[in-house]
Amino acid sequence: MIEESLVRRVLGTALRTGGDFAEVFAEDRRSSSARLDDGRVEDLTSGLDRGAGIRVVRGETTGFAHTADLTEAGLTAAAEAAGAAARGGGGGVREIALTRRDAPRPHEVRVLPENVEKARKVELLQRADDAARAEGSAIRQVSATYADNHRRILVANSDGLLASDDTVRTRIGVNAVAVGDTGMQTGYEAPGRSIGFELFDEIDVEEVARKASRRALDMLKARPAPSGRIDVVLRKGAGGVLFHEACGHGLEADLVGKDASVFRGRVGEKVASPLVTLVDDGTYAREWGTFAIDDEGHPAQRNTLIENGVLTDYMWDFLRARKEGRPQSGNGRRMSYQHLPMVRMTNTYVLDGDEDAEEIIRQTERGVYCVQLGGGQVNTATGDFVFGITEAYLIENGEVTDPIRSANLIGNGPEVLQSIDAVGNDFDTWTGMCGKDGQSVPVSSGQPTVRVRGMTIGGTAA
């Protein structure tokens, strides 16, 4: 995207005003998407976004500027603006010797989505629409979406780093609406991977659509959810979003440093059941949050955050790691070249245990079997959270019985971690987008089937 000699000159310009550290982040992002709504193509778009962000750090002050002009004049102007914003002074030019330190791709992409005809992408959505509607006459609305993203980045800084990455992500989603005597219910399924169009050699588009419709149809038969404290069994993958939101964000070093985390100052302490080991792993091949380098040029890596119930570390970006005199963890991420990096999760998950998932259910006399969670709210300073439950069933006498609706899962992250008394051996993941401070990045989370004793369910049953 940018010649190495030009990168060196731009870094020198950025440091001219006395900065301690300078960084160039260049990005070339190509994307396409399609949306089929009730059998009609409503959107069919493609886009190209290209530019660079320049960061200059002087002491505790960071200057940042971005530009879509990748000529020498455009990059120099951005470097001067970032340097001025960092309150530099003193003049002079500092020459930077760059050493390429690329990390290997975690996997190969076989079919670039931009080389696939749009008609093939629309055909996938039409197949999904047909399959979703075939599940029953109660399915009244179907919306299917396709999206792909091809992102190339280059990162260079005044420490001499020069690195690049090339990441492709592909996803399809189906939302089905069923109407019956109990009103309107929805079901959703949206698998995605950090691979190319070969995703559709691995997943059955019709089955994705059928899952969405079955969820909506099941909810038409659902009973009002119970209220109060009850054992909750989280189906494999389903609870990943809970661990991501209620626990993972509190382990990001920027929130810890702001005293906005319930886990602040607790490294070395028991914060979870000894059955729990929580990992953030940017190298987990083909997952939604996987990459070769983070957005500060550091290789992705596997970081153990909680090991056998004991808090072992936080997640770090460059600035906070440098301030604390410790290594980076590969968690510096940004939404685009127009944004500063911050500490973010990648693929965050609870490791497998030893128990059989069906046995965990059999050993639960009364409880709720949670299959899919929706959105919610989390207070990272206290760990308190509320999540909507989009698919769940009663457990009665050790068996999964009737579906339930209109329920919230209410609790506290550290308390949930401590209350886990069974961990299965059937690991699975969940794919999504994580928002923080106005930036959204792709992540995945996951876990095997786990049981949490005595969670609070906010339902509507009398």
pLDDT in tens, 358-368: 999 999 999 99
> Percent of the chain, pLDDT > 90?
85
Phi, psi of 8 (to 5 degrees): -60, -45
Q: Is the pLDDT of residue 270 over 50?
A: yes
CA 444, distance to chain mean position in Å, is: 5
Give the residues across from 24 on adjacent strands: 54, 156
DSSP-assigned letters across all residues of 332-393: EE-SSTTS--EE--SEEEEPP-SB-HHHHHHT-SEEEEEEEEEEEEE-TTT-EEEEEEEEEE
- The larger pLDDT score, comparing residue 305 to residue 19, is at 305
Q: Could you tell me the CA-to-CA distances from 20 to 16, 63, 339 in Å, in that order?
A: 10, 11, 20
Q: Within a 13 Å sphere around the CA of 307, how many CA atoms are in the beta-carbon half? A: 8
* Residue found under tokens 């399959």: 131
| Burial group, residue 6, by CB count within 10 angstroms (0-12, 13-18, 19+) | middle
Phi, psi of 33 (to 5 degrees): -150, 160
Give the burial string for 113-149 (b: 16+ CB within 10 Å, else e).
bbebeeeebbebbebbbebbbebeebbebbbbbbbbb
* Residue found under tokens 């609706």: 405
CB 242 within 8 A of CB 419: no
Confidence of residue 89 (pLDDT cuts 50, 70, 90): very low
Per-residue model confidence (pLDDT) at position 285:
84
d(CA 343, CA 253): 7
Residue spans of alpha helices (H) in 36-71: none
d(CA 2, CA 90): 28
Token duo for residue 248: 């993972």
Query: CA-CA-CA-CA torsion for 210, 213, 218, 222, nearest 10 degrees?
Result: 160
d(CA 240, CA 232): 14
| Burial group, residue 239, by CB count within 10 angstroms (0-12, 13-18, 19+) | buried
Per-residue model confidence (pLDDT) at position 154:
97
Q: Is the pLDDT of residue 93 over 70?
A: no
Give me the chain's average pLDDT, please.
93
Give the residues across from 63 on adjacent strands: 56
d(CA 4, CA 333): 23
CB 331 within 8 A of CB 315: yes
Q: Sign of dihedral through CA atoms 314, 317, 318, 324?
A: negative
pLDDT digits (tens, 9 = 90+) for 407-459: 899 999 999 999 999 999 999 998 999 999 999 999 999 999 999 999 999 98
Closest of 31, 272, 59, 273 to residue 145, by C-alpha: 31
For the segment 394-404, the average pLDDT, to the nearest whole number, is 96
Per-residue model confidence (pLDDT) at position 102:
74
